[in-house]
């Protein structure tokens, strides 16, 4: 297992290399001059633009810029934002916790709903509960997150006034720390109340996918001989469902969750914009609009690394839940 992980980590290097090459080239092929956008129309004169392009190294050939970028990257330096003149790593690092918090919360919310609903749908096949679950799941897949987000804000923030409409206020971890050190839950409550709506919005699509997958996967497993044998042995129904069936049904679900984790990071871009959530998704959008090349490169690289790691984690979890799978 250890050797397997090391090998997979090494395989990341050429993959990331390819990603940097593609991102770097595409960014420079789309039209739009970062310098003009940066200093604004009113202040621009052609010689000023030329001078700044020189200072920022944008007047060199793409290949020269790329080699310099790789050289800095090898030293762990992602470069400096063209817009704010701050280090890219700092810009990302400040926003990453917010995005991770949102993504994990979305995943937790969606699994907490999807797996029980999927299991119940499967064991009560074609019942009213099953139909209701299927319909809701279909809605969840079909609803675009920007629409769902605005509707949730309208209902829970504006009409009912139960939850705040946008923003992050505090980190959940900071709220937890305050609770543990001072015993005051106020900060944790504020933090969680801000997290609920964006997490539901981001998690809705995943919840729907996992519900349907759990249902079909469970149905397949329930039909197997070993489940019939377990029933024949007279094992209690709960034990058959949770221990014998669900554990086997989980394998395809884990695969999908791993793959969807990356999709959640992508979806966070939209959810963060709607809910004014201070994460890397908003940073990405702004940087693309401003043609802030180093920041876009940094964010894409960051997301790529997280996605690759998530896929690796899926493979490791396989081995944990299915004793037949072993890596050498």
Partner 1 sequence: MDPGLSTDLYSQQVYSHVLEPLLQLDPDGVPRPALAESWTVSADGRIWTFKLRPNVKFHDGSDFTGEDVKFTIDRILNPDTRSPQRGLLSQIASVEVADRNTVRITTRAAFVPIMTNLATAAYILPRGYHTRVGRDFARRPVGTGPFKWVEWIVDERIVLEANPDYYGGRPAMERVQFRFIPEASVRLAELEAGGADLIAGVPAQDLRRLRVSLLLDLQEVVGTNYRLMGFNTSVKPFDDVRVRQAIAHAIDKQKFVDVVWPGRGVVAEGPIPPTSWAYDERIRGLPFNLNRARQLMAESGHANGFDMNYLITDREEERREVAVIIDQLKQINVNVKVTAVEFPTLLDRLLKANYDVLRVGWTTSPEPDSLLYSPFHTSAIGGFNFTKYRNPRVDELLDRGRTVTNQNDRIRIYRDAQRLIVQDAPMVFIFHEKRTYASRKAVAGFKPHVSGWIVLKTTYGIDVRVGLTR
Q: Looking at 26, 48, 71, 236, which residue binds partner 1 (CB under 8 A)? A: 48
Q: Single out the segment in contact with partner 1 by CB under 8 A; choices: 115-123, 150-158, 174-182, 294-302.
A: 150-158
CB 100 within 8 A of CB 261: no
Within 13 A of 100's CA, how many CA atoms are on the CB side?
14
Helix (H/G/I), strand (E/B), else coil: 128: helix
Residue 193 touches partner 1, criterion: CB under 8 A: no
Contact between 34 and 290 (Cβ < 8 Å):
yes
Contact assessment for residue 261 and residue 309, using Cβ atoms and an 8 Å cutoff: no
CB of 40 to partner 1, least distance (A): 6
Position 323 contacts partner 1 (CB under 8 A) = no
Torsion 170-172-177-183 (CA) sign:
positive
96 touches partner 1 (CB under 8 A) = no
Query: CA 146 to CA 83: how far, in whole Å?
Result: 28
> Does position 9 bind partner 1 by CB under 8 A?
no
- Verify binding: residue 44, partner 1, rule CB under 8 A: yes
User: Dihedral of CA 100/103/104/105: which sign?
Assistant: positive
Say whether 80 sits in a helix, a strand or coil: strand
Give yes or no for residue 302 binding partner 1 (CB under 8 A). no
Q: Which is nearer to partner 1, 52 or 301 (CB)?
A: 52
Interface with partner 1, residue 32, by CB under 8 A: yes
- When binding is defined by CB under 8 A, the residue of 84, 89, 178, 193 that contacts partner 1 is 84
Q: Which is nearer to partner 1, 54 or 266 (CB)?
A: 54
Q: Is 278 in the site for partner 1 (CB under 8 A)?
A: yes
Which position among 120, 274, 295, 304 is part of the footprint of partner 1 (CB under 8 A)?
Answer: 274
Q: Does 181 bind partner 1 (CB under 8 A)?
A: no
Angle at 134 between CA 107 and CA 243, to 5 degrees: 60
Rounded to whole angstroms, how far apart are CA atoms 192 and 175? 9
Contact assessment for residue 137 and residue 144, using Cβ atoms and an 8 Å cutoff: no
191 is a contact residue toward partner 1 (CB under 8 A): no
Residue from 215, 244, 282, 307 that binds partner 1 (CB under 8 A)? 282
C-alpha 6/C-alpha 174 separation (Å) is 34
When asked if residue 293 is in the footprint of partner 1 (CB under 8 A), the reply is no
Instruction: Tell whether residue 177 is a contact of partner 1 (CB under 8 A).
Output: no
**Paired residues of 80 in beta bridges:** 87
The answer to whether residues 99 and 285 touch, using CB atoms and an 8 Å cutoff, is no
CB 272 within 8 A of CB 105: no
DSSP line for 201-270: HHHHHHHHHHHHHHHHHHHHHHTSHHHHHHHHHT--HHHIIIIIIIHHHHHHHHHHHHHHHHHHHHHHHH
Shortest reach from residue 327's CB to partner 1, in Å: 41
Stretch near partner 1 under the rule CB under 8 A, chosen from 152-160, 183-191, 200-208, 218-226: 152-160
Q: Which is nearer to partner 1, 94 or 322 (CB)?
A: 94
164 binds partner 1 (CB under 8 A): yes
Minimum separation from the CB atom of position 45 to partner 1 (A): 6
Considering only 13, 29, 30, 180, the residue that binds partner 1 (CB under 8 A) is 30
* Site for partner 1 contains 286 (CB under 8 A): yes
Interface ranges with partner 1 (CB under 8 A) = 30-33, 36-46, 48, 51-52, 55-56, 83-86, 91, 94-95, 150, 153-154, 157-158, 161, 164-169, 273-276, 278-279, 282-283, 286, 289, 291
């Amino acid at each position: 297992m250890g050797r397997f992980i090391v090998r997979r980590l090494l395989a990341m290097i050429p993959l990331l290399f390819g990603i940097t090459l593609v991102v770097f080239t595409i960014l420079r092929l789309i039209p739009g001059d970062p310098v003009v956008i940066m200093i604004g129309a009113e202040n621009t004169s052609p010689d000023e633009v030329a001078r700044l392009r020189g200072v920022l190294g944008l007047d060199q050939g793409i290949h020269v810029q790329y080699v310099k970028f790789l050289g800095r990257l090898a030293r762990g330096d992602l470069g400096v934002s063209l817009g704010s003149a701050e280090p890219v790593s700092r810009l990302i690092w400040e926003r990453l916790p917010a995005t991770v918090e949102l993504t994990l919360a979305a995943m937790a919310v969606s699994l907490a709903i999807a797996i029980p609903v999927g299991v119940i749908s499967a064991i009560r096949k074609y019942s009213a509960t099953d139909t209701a679950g299927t319909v809701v799941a279909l809605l969840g897949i079909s609803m675009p997150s920007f629409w769902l987000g605005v509707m949730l804000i309208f209902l829970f923030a504006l009409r009912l006034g139960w939850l705040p409409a946008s923003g992050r206020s505090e980190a959940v971890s900071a709220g937890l720390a305050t609770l543990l050190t001072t015993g005051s839950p106020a900060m944790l409550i504020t933090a969680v109340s801000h997290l609920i709506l964006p997490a539901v919005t981001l998690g809705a699509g995943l919840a729907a996918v996992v519900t349907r997958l759990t249902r079909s996967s469970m149905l397949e497993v329930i039909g197997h001989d070993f489940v019939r044998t377990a029933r024949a042995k007279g094992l209690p129904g709960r034990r058959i469902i949770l221990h014998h069936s669900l554990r086997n049904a989980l394998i395809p679900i884990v695969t999908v969750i791993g793959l969807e984790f990356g999709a959640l990071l992508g979806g966070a871009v939209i959810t963060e914009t709607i809910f004014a959530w201070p994460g890397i998704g908003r940073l990405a959008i702004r940087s693309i609009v401003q043609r802030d090349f180093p920041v876009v490169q940094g964010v894409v690289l960051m997301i790529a690394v997280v996605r690759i790691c998530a896929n690796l984690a899926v493979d490791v979890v396989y081995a944990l839940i299915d004793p037949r799978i072993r890596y050498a």
